[in-house]
Structure formats: C-alpha cells, structure tokens
Structure 1
Amino acid sequence: MNTDWFAVIDGTWPAARITRAGPFRLREGRGGGQRVSAASAEGPFTEADIDAAEAAMRDMGQPRIFMIRPGEDALDAALAARGYPVVDPVNVHACPSAQLTDIPIPRVTVFALWEPLAIMREIWAQGGIGPGRLAVMERAPGPKTGLLARHRDKPGGVGFVAIHAGTAMVHAVEILPHQRRQGLGRWMMRAAAFWAVENGADTLSVICTQANTAANGLYAALGMEVVGAYHYRRLD
C-alpha cells in the first residue's frame, strides 16, 4: 500500500492548530492527546531548532513531545541525548476495506451514526476519552461516523471512523469492561469496513500501541497487516 499514513492520521484525527518552528511541524492539541500535540520534523534540523520547538510547545501549555517516524534516527538520537524517554510505540494496521465485508453484521450489533449519542459519550468518558478528544472528532472534516456496539440489547462499545484520501482510519475504540470478550471489537471493525466501502474508502486502517497485545492480536486475526510504526519521545 503506497499510502502516507501520517497524512491519514492528521486528516482523520486533526490537531486544533498547526504551526511551524523552523523545520518542525507543531500541533496544538488542546487536550486531545499525544497524537494531536506532537511535533514532527519536516527537514534537517539543528539543536537550536529543537530548542525553538520546545519553547513553542511550552508556550502552548503542552508537554515537550516529538513524533519519531521511520528513518528519523538522527532526531531520535538527539532527543535521547536530551533525556527524552521513548513513549508509546505504535503500530499502523491496514487491509482492503472489502476484506472485512465478507460476513454480514448481525442485526442490531453495531450502528454507525453521527452525531454521537449521550451513551456513546458516556462510554468514551469511562475509558478516559473526554472533551478534548471528542473535540478532535468534531474537527475531523469527514466523511466520518461514530460506532455504537451492542451485546444482549445493552450498549457495549464505541469507536470513531473518518476518511482521508480514500483511506478510512478507526480511532477511539472503547469497550465497556463487562462487555469485553464478546467479539464486539471484531464486529466493530467489520462495521467500520462496511461503512468505509459505502463511503468510497478502499482501505481500512487503525493505529494501536504495541503494548496493547489484545488489540494487536485482534487486528492480526482479521488479516490486517502492520504497514507502519512510530513512537514518541516526551518530557513533561
């Protein structure tokens, strides 16, 4: 897949504001998490450029956090020398959307709808996905949808899907603790695939921390491939 995964991430989970500090692209997250608050390099840099990026992030009231993408060994080493620890290595999984539409979704198992219902906001809140991340969803230009999964006529889980340049990406999957191990994650990904196909996205993708072995196992079992990876370096 010849896809710019970082453009898909930015397009489907957008920062509140993008600015520049020399060669660094700065994201203002406004409480939306690391993904929309991290700086990334767009060219060669100097130590003074890192200083300027750090100062700009402090001015935003954000932690000093940089996204390290494949091939950015020099930036990785420079930040390590400054005492930045590695945080949350991430995998990007993807597959053709149609691959997950081979099995019909059981009736009243997963609903795709936007705007989110109150119960969806409550489930996200229980998983630590609060107003800042909901604001990210609102900012996404779309097409986009929320996913509400049910099990035994009770709400079970939620997710968010948006499309950028023909690729759908799933974010903010949260399943209630007492509804886990019921296959809801699998059905939510299949529902996302059906929605993606209906909205013209040939590829379905999702990002997941490498530490989340259960989710990585689910995506592998669905036949999704690891097509990219990145990590952060962060100083609070």
Structure 2
Amino acid sequence: MEISAGGRLEIRITAADVGKRVSVRRWHEHAAEGEKFTDTVGVLTSWDHGVLLITRRDGQSVQIAESSLVAGKVVPAAPARRRGPAASYEELARIAARAWQPVERERLGEWELRAAAGFTRRANSALPLGDPGLPLDEALTAVRRWYTDRGLPAYIQLATGAEGTQELLCAELEARGWTREVTAELWTGSLAPLADREAPGVELSRTADEAWLARYQRKGVSEVALKVLGGGSPRSWGSPRSGEAESGGGPSVWFATVPGAQGAPPAAIGRCVVDGRWAGFAAVEVDPEQRRRGLATAVMAALARQALDEGASAAWLQVETDNEGARTLYAGLGFGAHHAYHHYREPEGSRGPVA
C-alpha cells in the first residue's frame, strides 16, 4: 500500500486511473478483529457513483465502495512471471488461434469471427484483438448477427491477468448482460526439459485415426471436427503431402498414441501443433484405469521431441481452472500460468431478430 512520509496509508488513485492495474486496501467496519482489512489487486475497470470495480487476474470482478478505501496505488501493468518463456498476450492469443482453426472466419475490423458448426467454443467465438472498426454496441450487434445467421449462439473470447489483456472489455460485456460460461488458463513452459523425459511406446502420426479418436473425449466427431483437429488443413487429417511441413505453409500438426490392449482404445493420446518457436499441446487424455503411470508425460515428451526437431523451443497449453489433476501434472513439468481466458455468451433472450 502507499504510505506517506508520516507513516499514514494514502489513497493515490482516482477515477482517471480506470484501465490501470491497481492495488487497494479497504476497511470492513463489522468484520471480526484481524479481518478488518482486505487487499485487492487487479485492473480498475470502472469508478462510478462511489463504487469501484476491480477485475482480478482470474477474471473475477470485485465491487468496492469508495467510502471503504483506506489505501490505493497504481502498480505495474503485470507482475513478473517466474517460469515460462517471455511472450505477450497478443502473441499467445494468435498462436493459440492458429492451433485450433475454424472452418469459417471473417474479419470485423481487427476482430476475428470464427465458426465450426458448433465444435468447441474456441472455434465458434469472436476473438477481439484490437479495434472492430465500429462503436462497441454496433460491433456486438454485428457479432450476434453473424452467429445467428449460422444458427449458433454468439460467444466472445476474452482474457485477463497479463499486460494487454481485456479487463475493460470484460466489464463492458458484463454491463450489457453477456455472461461468462467458461474460464481456463493458458500456461507456458520450456520445451527442452520436457523433451528430455522418457517416452516409451508412444507412436506419432500426422493423422487423427480411428484408434486415436476412440480415446478422444468428444464422441461422434464430425468431418468439421476432424478439420479443426487437423489444423484446418486436409494434410493433417488425411495423407500428408510430401515436404509440406517443411515448406513454411502453416502450423504442423501431430497426434500421439500409446496403444492399449488388443482391441481396446489407446491407453493415452495427445495432440501438438508446432508453429514457429511454439509447440501447443492439447487433447492429452489417459485411460482412467491407467492414470498415474506416467503416460501423459510420455505422450507430451514424444511430441516435444518432434517439436524440437522442427525448430520450436517454447511450449503452451490450455487448462481449465477446476482441473486439479491436469494442473498438478503441468506444474510438475515446468509450466506456469500466463493469463486466464473466458468465453462470454450473448444475453439470454437475445437470439431473436437482430437489427
């Protein structure tokens, strides 16, 4: 907290600091002794009618009465991260989008509208990485119209918790009745230590074959889903074209499988997309009866070696905030959180005609 030369706590923020990262302390009059003060750190997203709204790293918003403040100051835009390669939010957002490509897309200014017949929110949401070229309400109307025309609910993917993320836009959507349905985090780590781990029995392929799909958690995978899994390119969900992966024609997609017993689905699977210096891991799944045997680590190690061979040096993955097993695994492999991301759904009752 900000302390004056006289030793007193001071409030050194105003409404003019909306959009900045702040640290505040408030006083609770009726709390028990020892619980009178609470500290909150996050982006100041509004200060209206005597109430501050602060969005924390995890995307949760906290309302604080101005009258309860005892101290406050502006702090650096993002805390220093302790693990993982250096990267901006925008770089990671674009890399993650390239790794999970829709089958249809359209630009709205610097926003990207994405659709894939409803297969996953990531491939069926708007990704706003700049100015839509319209006032916000008009842009949201255009987003809703685009998804309505395709028989899909309108989603917008936003992020919090790092420099350049979208706390202010989150607050604007929430004020307009958009609801956050899912929160996950994007984690980063170094690739080489992962590739040094053992990877016995792992088979790699450019194709998501029937065996791999038998273990994949999303059943009844359609042709559209296969295209998304394959990176939006026929080469990785059919026969690869000779030399294409080395030609710089786009991300390189690999699928890993640990075979199961004869006639049974694989014991473990995984997917990796190599894109420049980045390797993105997804769909790491293990037979529930064979967990805690190192199979997930083996799958990721085999994929990491392939990514290193193709010139990657850094790794990323996405994990939901309530998946404690996966979070423990990835932390043990040297990954750490970079930012949180959220999918906001259009307000209930707004699926009627859009002007």
Q: With structure 1 as the length reference, what TM-score do the two structures score?
A: 0.88
Counterpart CA distance in 1 for 2:210 and 2:260 is 18
* Aligned counterpart for 2:292 among listed residues 165, 177, 181: 181
Deviation at 1:143, TM superposition (A): 1.5
**Would you say 1:134 and 2:226 are equivalent positions?**
yes
Q: Per the alignment, do residues 181 and 103 of structure 1 end up closer, same or farther by CA in structure 2, a change over 3 Å counting?
A: closer
- How many positions carry a matched residue from both structures? 233
Deviation at 1:58, TM superposition (A): 1.0
Counterpart CA distance in 2 for 1:14 and 1:23 is 17
- What per-residue deviation string (whole Å, max 9, x for no partner) do you get for residues 63-101 of structure 1? 110011233223212221232221221111222211112
CA contact (8 A) 1:24 1:53 kept: no
The aligned runs of 1:103-122 (5 Å cut-off) are 103-106=197-200, 108=201, 110-122=202-214
Does 153-162 or 88-97 show the bigger shift?
153-162
Counterpart CA distance in 2 for 1:212 and 1:197 is 28
Counterpart CA distance in 2 for 1:209 and 1:96 is 20
2:108 aligns to what? 21
Deviation at 1:127, TM superposition (A): 4.0
2:46 aligns to what? none
- What per-residue deviation string (whole Å, max 9, x for no partner) do you get for residues 149-200 of structure 1? 2467762121211112220101222222323232211211212211111121
Q: Per the alignment, do residues 25 and 116 of structure 1 end up closer, same or farther by CA in structure 2, a change over 3 Å counting?
A: closer
Counterpart CA distance in 2 for 1:182 and 1:231 is 32
1:30 aligns to what? 117
Does 214-223 or 170-179 show the bigger shift?
170-179
1:62 aligns to what? 152
Amino acid at match of 2:187: H
2:207 aligned counterpart, secondary structure: coil
Does 57-66 or 81-90 show the bigger shift?
81-90
- What per-residue deviation string (whole Å, max 9, x for no partner) do you get for residues 45-67 of structure 1? 42121111111111122211001
Counterpart CA distance in 2 for 1:15 and 1:127 is 17
Counterpart CA distance in 1 for 2:203 and 2:118 is 27
2:328 aligned counterpart, secondary structure: helix
Deviation at 1:146, TM superposition (A): 0.3
2:65 aligns to what? none
Amino acid at match of 2:210: A
Does 209-218 or 127-136 show the bigger shift?
127-136
**Would you say 1:2 and 2:87 are equivalent positions?**
yes
Q: Per the alignment, do residues 77 and 218 of structure 1 end up closer, same or farther by CA in structure 2, a change over 3 Å counting?
A: same
CA contact (8 A) 2:199 2:299 kept: no
Q: Which runs of 4+ in 1 moved over 4 A?
A: 151-154
* Aligned counterpart for 1:144 among listed residues 245, 248, 253: 253
CA contact (8 A) 1:15 1:27 kept: yes
**Would you say 1:224 and 2:335 are equivalent positions?**
yes
Which has the higher relative contact order, 1 or 2, with Cα contacts under 8 A spaced 6 or more apart? 1
1:69 aligned counterpart, secondary structure: strand
Deviation at 1:205, TM superposition (A): 1.5
Counterpart CA distance in 2 for 1:14 and 1:150 is 28
Identity %: 24
* Aligned counterpart for 2:137 among listed residues 47, 66, 69: 47
1:101 aligns to what? 195
Q: With structure 2 as the length reference, what TM-score do the two structures score?
A: 0.61
Deviation at 1:39, TM superposition (A): 0.6
**Would you say 1:72 and 2:166 are equivalent positions?**
yes
Runs (5+) with no aligned partner, structure 1: none
CA contact (8 A) 1:22 1:49 kept: no
Amino acid at match of 2:211: I
Does 32-41 or 81-90 show the bigger shift?
81-90
RMSD of aligned Cα (Å): 2.2
